[in-house]
């Protein structure tokens, strides 16, 4: 079984995340996709990050009963900050026979060289890259052990949604319904 690992803070999860995940499942060789909710990306600030379990719950609500997807809290159980290479090693140990591929946006490649053991990750794990606005597709096409997936370019972001909520905007159609309801009930991102 081939499983895509879609790492992110999902702060909050939004329709762009689900559109990309759905595209990856339907138009690549993935059998399943796991949303790996990261407690803290060591390359990002933690200022506006909701608590781990709230972000995980919003992902669970967003994917609902879609069998193609799984919300994963695996990095909650590993030492912090979480490093992709450590998560991959742990997942392989616990899931023998399952092949893992990384699902990542082209924007993540700008800092990929800073990841712990980046060259080992690039060598050992195939990366499915989805385009982001302004990505140089020619450069992307030359990446080793990677496939640039012709997925739709999503210009929506979690930071945009957080800002819109702080400004009192209605984002109900940008966040999956059940996750949106949970977010509103908890008054997330309002201040």
Domain ranges of the chain: 2-154
Q: What is the mean pLDDT of the chain?
A: 92
The whole-number average pLDDT for the span 133-156 is 85
Q: Indicate the length of the chain as a whole number.
A: 191
- Answer whether residue 107 shows pLDDT above 90: no
Q: What's the predicted TM-score (pTM) here?
A: 0.93
Where does 28-168 have alpha helices with state H?
Answer: 52-63, 84-94, 118-124, 137-141, 158-166
CA torsion 136-8-40-184 (nearest 10°) is: 120
Residue with tokens 């995980």: 56
- Answer whether residue 62 shows pLDDT above 90: yes
Q: Which of 23-27, 43-47, 139-143 has the highest mean pLDDT?
A: 23-27
Beta strands 69-72; 32-37: pairing state: parallel
Indicate the CATH number of 2-154 among 3.40.50.720, 3.40.50.620, 3.40.50.740, 3.40.50.2300.
3.40.50.620
Structure tokens at 189: 């991102």
In this predicted structure, what is the pLDDT of residue 157?
A: 92
In this predicted structure, what is the pLDDT of residue 46?
A: 60
The terminus-to-terminus CA distance of the chain in angstroms comes to: 43
In this predicted structure, what is the pLDDT of residue 47?
A: 64
In this predicted structure, what is the pLDDT of residue 154?
A: 82
């Amino acid at each position: 079984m081939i499983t895509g690992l879609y790492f992110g803070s999902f702060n909050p999860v939004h329709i762009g995340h689900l559109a990309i995940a759905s595209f990856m499942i339907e138009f690549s060789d993935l059998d399943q996709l796991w949303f790996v909710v990261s407690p803290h990306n060591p390359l990002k600030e933690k200022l506006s990050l909701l608590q781990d379990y709230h972000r995980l719950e919003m992902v669970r609500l967003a994917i609902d009963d879609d069998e193609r997807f799984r919300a994963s809290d695996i990095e909650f159980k590993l030492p912090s900050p979480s490093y992709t290479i450590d998560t991959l090693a742990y997942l392989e140990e616990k899931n023998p026979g399952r092949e893992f591929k990384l699902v990542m946006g082209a924007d993540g490649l700008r800092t990929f060289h800073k990841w712990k053991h980046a060259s080992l990750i690039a060598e050992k794990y195939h990366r499915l890259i989805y385009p982001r606005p302004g990505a140089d597709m020619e450069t992307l096409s030359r990446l080793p052990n990677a496939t640039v997936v012709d997925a739709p370019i999503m210009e929506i972001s979690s930071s945009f949604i957080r800002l819109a909520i702080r400004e009192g905007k209605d984002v109900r159609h940008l966040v999956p319904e059940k996750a949106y309801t949970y977010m509103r009930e908890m008054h997330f991102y309002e201040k």
